[in-house]
């Protein structure tokens, strides 16, 4: 596809509308094609013996991508935020994890599964459909068909990570609060010493635009055999149920998780919010208020010695610099206080920590 087509927003929107219509109904994540595929490989809610071998092969392929993961560090980072918010990018920019952390991302598992789906010939009819840009449907655009299975495989991998005490980044949205609390309970029972939550908040419009741009860039990439990952915009809309609220439900769920008794019982629990939704509320000058809070937070963190950069933190765990921590002192933001790759312009860093 030419650069002109990549920049053609009208063509992009026509292809998106065509895909949205094509992938509804029986091709939706809960449609008959997805459920029939699952029924073929599941028995009594569990994978068949043959399918279990497929899952194990996928797990082995996934783990081989990161052979040098730190074991017995028992530190975890959970992401929160709408699809398209830029969660993985924010984690990278904050510089709080390194190559010693296992990153669990269901999107990577979806790639393995759609490859297998296509190789089995199960979606040949769909992949043969030519869209208005002159190209056929791409395998990654069928990721919704394997969503349920990808989540199950990631949970299987996560169980193994926790048994081994690996430092782990669990990428997700925290859009469903019961699942978030269940996950935190699993980490506590596995004796994890440090749990950080990074919530990335952007307005609904920006999340939608990023998801579309990411899909279109992948579809237009001539070197991508899988294409771009298609996501119905309704998936994003569901985490913004109130049209007047610029924050997603993921923000409230992340805060509730951080405020829970389980989080307070951990040796170290942190919540960092990368907020790009607008100015700090209140009648004080935001910059002055934030500078004051940042100063108080740094003093409290250094004085208390709770896992800040100066005292090294929990064994085997990467930690946020002290200026990113806030011991219930308010808001902290400091665009110059990040790692070598700063967060996007016009965003705030808001941090909280237990104990």
Which of 71, 286, 94 shows the shortest CA–CA distance to 197?
94
Asked if residue 228 is part of any domain, the answer here is yes
pLDDT given at position 190? 97
Domain with residue 250: its CATH number is 3.40.50.300
**Domain hosting residue 153, numbered range:** 6-354
Query: In the chain, how many domains are there?
Result: 1
pLDDT given at position 201? 93
Greater confidence (170 vs 245) lies with 170
Greater confidence (138 vs 330) lies with 138
Instruction: Quick: pLDDT tens for 272-310.
Output: 998 888 754 433 333 333 333 333 433 333 333 233 222
Asked if residue 32 is part of any domain, the answer here is yes
Asked if residue 305 is part of any domain, the answer here is yes
Asked if residue 1 is part of any domain, the answer here is no
Asked if residue 329 is part of any domain, the answer here is yes
Structure tokens, 254: 């992340």
Asked if residue 177 is part of any domain, the answer here is yes
Asked if residue 236 is part of any domain, the answer here is yes
pLDDT given at position 25? 80
pTM of the model: 0.79
Asked if residue 34 is part of any domain, the answer here is yes
Instruction: Quick: pLDDT tens for 164-214.
Output: 999 999 999 999 999 999 999 999 999 999 999 999 999 999 999 999 999
Torsional class of 174: left (φ above 0), alpha (ψ -120 to 50), beta (otherwise): left
CB 110 within 8 A of CB 228: no
46-47 and 268-275 beta bridge pairing: unpaired
Lowest mean pLDDT among 15-19, 29-33, 209-213, 343-347: 343-347
């Amino acid at each position: 596809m030419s650069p002109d087509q990549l920049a053609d927003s009208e063509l992009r929107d026509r292809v998106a509308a065509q895909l949205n219509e094509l992938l509804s109904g029986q091709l939706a994540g809960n449609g008959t094609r997805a459920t029939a595929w699952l029924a073929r490989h599941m028995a009594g809610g569990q994978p068949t013996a043959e399918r279990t071998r497929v899952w194990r092969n996928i797990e082995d392929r996934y783990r081989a991508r990161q052979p040098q993961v730190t074991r017995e560090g028992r530190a975890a980072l959970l992401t929160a935020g709408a699809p398209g918010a830029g969660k993985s990018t924010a984690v990278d920019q904050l510089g709080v994890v390194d190559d010693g952390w296992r990153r669990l991302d269901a999107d990577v598992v979806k790639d393995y599964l759609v490859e297998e789906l296509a190789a089995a010939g199960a979606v040949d009819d769909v992949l043969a459909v030519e869209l208005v840009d002159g190209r056929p449907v791409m395998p990654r655009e069928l990721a919704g068909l394997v969503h349920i299975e990808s989540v199950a495989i990631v949970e299987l991998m996560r169980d193994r990570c926790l048994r081994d005490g690996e430092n782990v980044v669990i990428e997700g949205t925290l859009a469903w609060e019961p699942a978030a609390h269940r996950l935190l309970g699993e980490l506590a029972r596995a004796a994890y010493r440090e749990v950080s939550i990074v919530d990335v908040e952007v307005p609904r419009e920006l999340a939608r635009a990023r998801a579309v741009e990411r899909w279109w860039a992948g579809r237009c990439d001539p070197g991508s055999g899988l294409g771009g990952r298609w996501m119905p915009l309704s998936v994003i809309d569901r985490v913004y149920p109130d049209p007047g609220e610029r924050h997603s439900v993921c923000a409230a769920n992340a805060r509730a998780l951080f405020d829970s008794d389980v989080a307070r019982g951990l040796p170290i629990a942190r919540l960092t919010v990368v907020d790009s939704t607008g100015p700090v509320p209140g009648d004080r000058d935001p910059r002055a208020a934030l500078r004051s809070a940042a100063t108080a937070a740094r003093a409290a963190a250094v004085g208390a010695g709770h896992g800040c950069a100066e005292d090294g933190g929990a064994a085997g765990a990467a930690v946020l610099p002290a200026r990113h921590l806030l011991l219930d002192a308010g808001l902290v933001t400091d665009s110059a206080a990040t790692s070598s790759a700063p967060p996007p312009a016009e965003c705030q860093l808001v941090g909280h920590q237990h104990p």
